[in-house]
Structure 1
Amino acid sequence: MRFTTIQAQASLQNEVESFIIVENETELPYNVLPDTALVLGFQYKGRLSLISDNKSIPLSASGITGLQNKVRVFRNLEPSGSVLVRFKPGGAAALFALPIHELFEQSIPLDAIISPHQIRIVEEQISEVQTDRERISIIENFLLSIKRKFDTDSLVSAAIQCINESAGNIRIGDLAKLLNSSSSPLEKRFRSVVGCSPKKYASIVRFRRVMTDDHKGLLPSERAYEAGYFDQAHFIKDFKRFTGQTPEHFFSSRSF
C-alpha cells in the first residue's frame, strides 16, 4: 500500500487538513476508525466497497463521508488509487451548503450534493493525468470553485479549540459556561458546522488520544489513564463501540 500525505495550498488551508493519496495493488480489506475529520474521496483507479453486515456495498467513484461513531470496513476490489481530502473540523461547512450533521455516519455520492456534470468532469480529469500533484491540483481547483462565502462561527471555533486542548476531557455544560453560552444553542450550531454534537466530538478526540504514538508501549489501561479515562468500564465501552474490539485484543494484534 502506498500512503502519501500532501498539504493543501494556502487558499484552502482554513478548510483542508491534507490530501492523502492511497494506492493498493492487491485486493485488501482495511478498517477506518472514527476521526474528527470529514473525508472527501475521488477514485482514479479501481473501485472501493463498504463491508456492512457481511454485505459488500459498492461506493461511488466520488463521495463524501461524515463523522463516524464506529469502525468501518472497506475493501478495494482490484488495484485501486484514491485521492482523499481530509477536512479540518468545521472546514467542510465552507464548501457544502447542507447542515454537516446530515452526513453523520453516512457515505454518500458526491453528485448527490454537487452538480453531477461537474463531478463527472473532475473524475475524467483526474483519471487522465499521471502524477499526485496533477490530481491534487485538479481537486483543489474544484474545491475552490465550490467554496462559498462563509462566515466562520466564532462560538463553534472556540468550542473546537477548547475540546482539542482538553483532549476531549471537558463537560459540555462547563464548555458552554466557559464560552458564555448555554448548551442548547452551542450544540445546535456545533452540529451544523462540525457534523456531530460537542459531546460526540469530545469522545472521538479522547479516543484518538488513546491511539496516539505518544502512548506507544503502554498497556491499554495505561493508555486509557493518559487519555483521561479514569473509569475502566467506560473506557472499554467506548473503545468497543469505536473499534468493535476490546482494547486488549485490538492492541495485541497490532504493532503499537
Structure 2
Amino acid sequence: MILSLKTFAPSKLLAPYVTAIWDYEDLTGSDNLMLSILPDTATYLCFLYADLLQTTHKGGVYTTRSGLAGFQSFRSDLGGLGKVSGVSARLTPWGLNVFRSGIVKDCAEKRVDCRDIFPRYSIEKIEDKLSNMRTAKERVQCVEDFLLAILNRDNEDLLIQKACRDLSASNGNYPIRMLARNLGLTERTFERRFLNHVGAAPKKYARVVRLRNTIFQRKALSTWADVACAVGYYDQSHMIHDFQELYGISPESLYPQIDVSQTIQFSGLLNLNQTA
C-alpha cells in the first residue's frame, strides 16, 4: 500500500478534464519503494515541492521536480531521490489540450519538465506555495486554482472525447474505421484529430484499453485463456505478447500485485513488489 497517497475528486469545472487529484507527502516511503505506472490512457501533471522524482520509461531516465507524463503505452518505473512530496492531477485522455494546446502529440511517451511547457515563474510559484501549506486540502486547492486559471475550453474536441469514451466502453474492440464513420469523419481525419488531442493513434489507445481490461477480468474467470477470449484477443499468446511488450511482465507475475493493490483501480500506479 502507498500509505501517503490521498485522493480528491476534482471540482465541477475541472471534472470533464481531470479524473482525480492526489496529494502525497512521501510517495515512495522511507524504504524508497520503486513504484510503477501501468499504461491506462491518462496523462499526469505532477507538482513536487520537496525532492526530485526519477522516472524510467522505454530505456530513458528522466529526473524532474514538477513534470508532465504524457500518454504512455509502456510501463514506467518511479523512484525518489529523497522524499517525494507533491500533488498530481490525473487528466482524462483528452484533458491536456485544454490546459496547454499544441503539445499533446510531442509529450507522448515522454516525461517533460513543467517549466518547459508553462511559464517558469508560475511553476516555481506553485512549488513554493505547496511547500508552505500544512494540509492536503490546501495543496490540492492550490493546484486546482492553477488549472482553472489556464483552462481554455475552446481547445477541446467533443468528437474525440466521444471517441475515447466509445473505445473505452467497448474495451478497445470498436473497429476504428466504423468509429470514424459513425462520428462523421474520414478515417484519416479521425486519426489525425485523435493523435493531436490524445497523443496516440486510435489503434494504440484501443490496445492499451484492451490490455488494462484484462487485469480486472482475471478474478471473475478461471484461466488466462478465458480472459483472452472475453476481452477480445485472438488467442492467449497474443494477450501474453501485449503483457510482455507493454507491461514488461507476464500475466502470472503481475496478477498477484494487481489483486492486492489499493491504487490500481483508480490509477495506473502500482507497487510491483507488494504481496498480500
What residue is the counterpart of 1:14 in the other structure? 16
TM-score normalised by the chain length of structure 1 = 0.91
Partner Cα separation in structure 1 for residue 234 and residue 218 of structure 2:
16
Aligned to 1:110, which of 108, 114, 129?
114
Q: How do 1:2-151 residues align onto structure 2 when only pairs under 5 Å count?
A: 2=3, 3-22=5-24, 23-26=27-30, 27-51=32-56, 57=61, 59-151=63-155
Aligned to 2:171, which of 159, 167, 171?
167
What residue is the counterpart of 1:189 in the other structure? 193
Aligned to 1:232, which of 227, 230, 236?
236
Q: CA separation of 1:4/1:221 partners in 2, compared to 1, >3 Å: closer, same or farther?
A: farther
Two-structure CA RMSD over aligned residues (Å): 2.0
In the TM superposition, residue 226 of structure 1 has moved relative to its aligned partner by 2.5
The question of whether the paired residues in 2 share the 8 Å contact of 1:30 and 1:75 is answered with yes
In the TM superposition, residue 76 of structure 1 has moved relative to its aligned partner by 1.4
The question of whether the paired residues in 1 share the 8 Å contact of 2:58 and 2:76 is answered with no
1:240 maps to amino acid: Q
TM-score normalised by the chain length of structure 2 = 0.85
In the TM superposition, residue 252 of structure 1 has moved relative to its aligned partner by 5.2
Size of the alignment, in residue pairs?
A: 254
Q: SS in structure 2 opposite 1:48?
A: strand
Q: SS in structure 2 opposite 1:97?
A: coil
In the TM superposition, residue 144 of structure 1 has moved relative to its aligned partner by 1.2
In the TM superposition, residue 240 of structure 1 has moved relative to its aligned partner by 1.0
What residue is the counterpart of 2:219 in the other structure? 216
1:198 aligns with 2:202: yes
Q: SS in structure 1 opposite 2:16?
A: coil
Partner Cα separation in structure 2 for residue 241 and residue 120 of structure 1:
37
Q: % of aligned pairs identical?
A: 28
In the TM superposition, residue 187 of structure 1 has moved relative to its aligned partner by 0.4
Moved more, 126-135 or 22-31: 22-31
In the TM superposition, residue 149 of structure 1 has moved relative to its aligned partner by 4.3
CA deviation map 1:120-155 (0-9, x unaligned) = 000100011011110011101111111124153232
Partner Cα separation in structure 1 for residue 109 and residue 193 of structure 2:
18
In the TM superposition, residue 246 of structure 1 has moved relative to its aligned partner by 1.9
Q: CA separation of 1:149/1:69 partners in 2, compared to 1, >3 Å: closer, same or farther?
A: closer
CA deviation map 1:191-226 (0-9, x unaligned) = 1111111111111111111122x5426433333222
2:250 maps to amino acid: T
Q: Which runs of 5+ in 1 are unaligned?
A: none
What residue is the counterpart of 1:250 in the other structure? 254
Q: SS in structure 2 opposite 1:20?
A: strand
CA deviation map 1:39-93 (0-9, x unaligned) = 00111333211235888x4522111011112111111122322311000121111
Partner Cα separation in structure 2 for residue 116 and residue 92 of structure 1:
18
Partner Cα separation in structure 2 for residue 125 and residue 74 of structure 1:
24
The question of whether the paired residues in 2 share the 8 Å contact of 1:28 and 1:77 is answered with no
